[in-house]
Amino acid sequence: MFHRAARPIAAALMFAAITPLHAQDDRYPEQPIRVIVPFGVGGLADISLRLVTQRLSERLGQQVVVENKPGAGGVVATNAVLGAPRDGYTLAVFANGTAISKTLFKLPYDPVADFAPISTVAYFDLVLLTNAKGKLQSLPALLAEGRKRQLVLGTINPGSTQNLSAELFKSMAGIDAMVVPFKSTPEVLTALLRGDVDVMFESYAALKGAITSGQATPIAATGSHRSSWLPKVPTVAESGVPGYEVAGWNALFAPAGTPPRRLDRLNAALNKVLREPAIRQRLEELGTQAQGSTREELADVFRRDIAKWADVIRKAGIPMQQN
């Protein structure tokens, strides 16, 4: 029988067992944090995350280290995060491509159930580009041409955001078009300049050189509004395809089971970094908009994008692929 006199002792022991956990969270982080990026060095996500984590390190008082683990559609990076302790010291970078992979690939994990959202980091749109020496110098001109003949839309690999953005455009514009995937952005650009494709879908950051050199003309952007880095370029929606919108994003996630207090600490610090004028300006120069979120808002963005791209994949008839 549990004696009444023993209750205060039991309560004290229980308090002693619980208190260190909260104290540990209050001291978090006490060691470097790893951020695993599923892309190679030098890409938009890699560069933007390195800028942000440098300032995040200063705010948290601990080094935040970016590690690149590209390959296998993000599976290599994700497995590295899931294989680490769920203590807030190993984080994952997800992008809108992660939402696509939920439907497109047979994954060895569930990106929704197995991860907890922290915050969005940045948003960016794609641009539609044509040969600067060609006759298709606006989206209305492209749509008019598409009513006369079959257009060729160039993108990088099947299932990429660029590729599915082209499929969505083809569907919503109601034109006769063929989406042709290439292995890399330089290959798509070469095909555009050679006249093998009529228009290509890519990020501004990836084609900034071709745009400034006068090789390619951006005729429309996929976002909901004109960007500050290409203010004269209209959106697809305002140029003849109402309702069309594609927004790329990247965000931080942690393995499910990470202490919520630590996720809240990371969210608060990251959002403060993303409000800093210097960080916002530097990211804007890269063609991306710094934008944090609550954990709940990121969860909603992720769920909506999964549903959106699942519908595009189904309508395009793209079969599920093995990674």
Residue-wise pLDDT tens digits, 182-230: 988 999 999 999 999 999 999 998 899 999 999 999 999 999 999 989 9
Q: Are residues 113 and 192 in the same domain?
A: no
Residue 41: predicted pLDDT: 84
Kindly write down the DSSP assignment for every residue of 194-257, as one continuous string. HTS-SEEEEEHHHHHHHHHTTSEEEEEE-SSS--SSSTTSPBTGGGT-TT---EEEEEEEEETT
Same domain? 218 vs 138: yes
Instruction: Indicate if the pLDDT at residue 17 is higher than 60.
Output: no
Say if 13 falls within a structural domain: no
Mean pLDDT of 244-265: 96
Record the pTM: 0.82
Task: Tell me which of 185, 220, 239 is where a domain ends.
Answer: 239
42-56 residue pLDDT tens: 778 888 999 999 999
Q: Are residues 178 and 137 in the same domain?
A: yes
Residues 150 and 234 in one domain: yes
Residue 158: the pLDDT is: 80
Q: What phi, psi does 134 have (nearest 5°)?
A: -90, -175
* Domain end residue (candidates: 223, 239, 255): 239
Note whether 179 and 283 are same-domain residues: no
| Domain assignment present for 23 | no
Any domain includes 90? yes
Shared domain for 35 and 114, answered yes or no, is yes
> Does the residue 165 lie in any domain?
yes
Q: Domains in the chain: how many in total?
A: 2
Residues 147 and 114 in one domain: no
CATH number, domain of 78, equals: 3.40.190.150
- The verdict on 268 and 233 lying in the same domain is no
Q: Residue 24: inside a domain, yes or no?
A: no
pLDDT of residue 43: 78
Does 318 map to a domain? Answer: yes
φ, ψ dihedrals at 225, nearest 5°: -150, 165
pLDDT reading at 11 higher than 70: no
Residues 97-107: what's their mean pLDDT? Answer: 90
Confidence of residue 323 (pLDDT cuts 50, 70, 90): low
Residue whose tokens read 């290439």: 182
- Residue 124 corresponds to which amino acid? F
Beta pairing, strands 64-68 & 151-155 = unpaired
Which residue, among 251, 248, 43, 258, has the nearest Cα to 125 in the 3D structure?
248
Q: What is the mean pLDDT of the chain?
A: 90
Nearest to 75 by CA among 32, 44, 106: 106
Range(s) of the domain holding residue 142 = 125-239
pLDDT tens digit sequence for 154-179:
998 787 889 999 999 999 999 999 99
In the chain, % of residues over pLDDT 90: 75
Q: Which of 53-62, 141-150, 249-258, 311-320 is least confident?
A: 311-320
State the CB neighbour count (10 A cutoff) for residue 195: 11
Give the pLDDT of residue 45: 86
Whether 210 and 134 share a structural domain: yes
Are 145 and 215 found together in one domain?
yes
Q: Provide the CATH number for the domain around residue 155.
A: 3.40.190.10
For residues 147 and 220, membership in a common domain is answered with: yes
Domain boundary among 239, 265, 286: 239
| Residue 20 domain flag | no
Q: Is the pLDDT of residue 1 over 50?
A: no
Q: Does any domain span residue 167?
A: yes
pLDDT for 5 beyond 50? no
Residues 129 and 227 in one domain: yes
